[in-house]
Structures are given as structure tokens and as C-alpha cells.
Amino acid sequence: MQYMTAGESHGPEEVAIIEGIPAGLAISSADINQELARRQHGYGRGERQKIETDTVSILTGVRHQVTLGSPITLNVHNDDHNNWAAIMAPDEPATPENSVRKVMRPRPGHADLVGGIKYRHQADLRNVLERSSARETVMRVAVGAVAKKLLAEIGVDVHGFVQQLGPVKNAADALTSFQDLAAVRAMSESLPTRALSAEVDQQMQAVIDETKRQRDTVGGMVQVIATGMPAGLGSYVSADTKLDAKIARAIVGINAFKAVDFGAAFDHVQLFGSEVMDEILWSEAQGFYRATDNMGGFEGGMTTGEMIIVRGVVKPIPTLYQPMRSVDIDNHTEHKASIERSDTTAVTAAAVIAEHMVAIELAKAVLDKFDSDNIERLKEQVTIYRQEVQAF
């Protein structure tokens, strides 16, 4: 399985092409739109979410709501393009009239300056920000929605929520109060900040409100949990086959993500090996399993069969309504950085994006190991493999 996205933040369309999805998988635009709506919602989002109503069109690879095994093309229209049609016109030469709203003063923390240097966009840094914008993640969520449908067919569930926003975090034992991942989903999706309790949600909202009053931005940490993955996906034989490494790359590849860990790895630096390693147990009913899950479901780059736990750190958005110092790229004089329409925080949306990126990497791993031509054949093979793992 592989995919590619295309599109600019204020261009007419966002597009993705997915190759390698098996034939026979039930999928509809409604399935994908449900996930796109989740990405748009969340406390602290900006004005653009009031303009866009992200809905997907499935252009190829699906017939009668069933995949054909051929490449799948997905398309989301940018409603805000109506306000930018002349500025973003692909088939018109540049004129003074359609070259307004230039970006000449790069924002600290954004791709503006380095992207301009790399691609020689010295005339207008908008040529950088239009693609480096997180708007592109709408298509990663669309691709992830297809991946989640595939994973569900073999009993794998994936969900993301907000673990921390600014100084406010869920209680250390918050997850122990939920019976299963469905219960976690029900709670976090019912709250505007995607926290794990109403009390923490209110505290997070207060932080966002105060940050907005200060014309600043705030970051946080999101967590993704996946259940039902068989043991042995990924490999230890080389660096580029380790599944946790692939997930780490996918998470840090999301706009504004700066760090990733598995299990509680950020906390392991102050612990000893005897406090961290997951002891191995065996029962006739389960086969091998672990007493704990501090490793987050991975050993040696491979899934252990335990719950997969991934956390990602999201920096504050670099567009500030009280802009920081910058330098005009044209005349090299000091100015305040450019201001673009932005959110107070993207952490609530980042939880959804991270969820879908984990789903994509897990789906890739499944399709690497099992037959990828037909979904029913894949399911048969997964069932046999699970039996083999249990009997080991």
C-alpha cells in the first residue's frame, strides 16, 4: 500500500491516490466524511473551519461502494478557494492584480524561510506556505479512513485523543476507568477538547480561552491506541523494516509534531530496567502475553500482540496574532512576522490526524504480510496466522 497527496491550502482541490488496497473492501464517501468531520471539530480551531465543509468525492477504484483493487482517487474541494481564485490561478500569468497578499516576512517556527531558500521562492513565500500548511492533512485523514476500514475487517481498532494541552493533562490512571477502547472513544469524542474526563476538558478549554485572549497559541500531547493487531508485524532484520520506526516517522511527519514515544517511553529515562520491561506470561487460552504494556506494543520493531500505544508532542502553532521578530526577505529589514489566519491550538485536530497516520502504517504492515489482492483472502490468512501465533 502506498499513497500520495496533492493540493495547496487555498487551491481548488485536495487530492489523494491510494494504491494497494485489496478488492472487495466495503467503503463509501460517508465512511470517509465521518472522519473528515472529526478532524474539523475541536475546541480552539480557527475561522477557516466555519468556511470549509470537508466532503470527499471518490473518483476511481470503487464501484457500488466496494473497492476494485485498482488505485483509489479521493478528492476534497476547498470551499475557501472561492476567495483566492485569482491569487491561486494555475493557468494565468502573474500580474500586480493577482499577486496581492504576498508573504515576505517569514514566521518563526514555520517552513516559510527555509522553504523559500530551498526552492528559490524569494518573490513570495506564499509559494511555500500553501503546501506546507496543515490543510494537506485533510487528505491524510481521508486515506487513513480507508485504512481504518481495512483494519476493522480483521478486528483492529484505532483511536486518538488529547492527553495534554498546555499544563493540563489527563490523570495518570485515567485509562484504567474505561472498559475498552470503545468506551475511551465515546468519552473523548463527546468532549470539545477530546480529553478523557469532563473536568479535564473544562480545564483545557480555560487554557485555550486564556491563550486566545493573550493572542498566543498553545501545544500539547496526543495519544493513539490500537487494539487487535497480531504479534509479529514489522521486523527486526533491518532498520527500515521496524514497524515502530515507520510509525514514528509518520507521526513526526505530521505538521507541528516534534516528538513521539511508545508506551510511556518519555518517562522511562528515570526508571530502571526492572521497572520498565514487560514480563512474559503464557496461558492455554491466550498463548504468550505480557503482564504489562510499558513498551507500547512493540519489541524489536515488531508488534507483540499487546495494545499499541503511541504518543506525539505537538508544538504551538507558529502563526501568532502578536507576531515575533522577523526579517523581510526582499530588503532584509527587521519587521514583525506575517500573520495568516490560524487556530489557537491544533491539538484537538492533531489527535485525529495522528490516529489516521497510525492506521495507515498498521494497514501497510498488514498488507505487506498478507495477501493484498482480495479482502476475504486476507482475512482468511489473518485468521490462520492468529491460530499459529496462539499455538506457538
| Residues contributing to the annotated binding site for FMN | 131-133, 255-256, 300, 315-319, 341
Q: Cβ contacts of residue 62 below 8 Å, gap of 6+?
A: 27, 68, 72
List beta partners, residue 336.
325
Do residues 282 and 288 touch, judged by C-beta distance below 8 A? yes
> Residue positions in the annotated binding site?
39, 45, 131-133, 255-256, 300, 315-319, 341
> Residue positions in the annotated binding site for NADP(+)?
39, 45
| CA atoms within 13 A of residue 354's CA, in its CB half-sphere | 33
What DSSP character marks residue 197?
A: S
Dihedral (CA of 40, 103, 129, 313) sign = negative
Q: How many CB atoms lie within 10 A of CB 277?
A: 14
Do residues 382 and 305 touch, judged by C-beta distance below 8 A? no
**Rounded distance, CA 265 to CA 374, Å?**
37
What backbone phi and psi angles, to 5 degrees, belong to 8? -110, 160
Q: Cβ contacts of residue 282 below 8 Å, gap of 6+?
A: 288, 289
**Rounded distance, CA 258 to CA 109, Å?**
11
Determine the angle formed by the axes of helices 347-369 and 29-40, rounding to 10 degrees: 140
At 282, the amino acid letter reads W
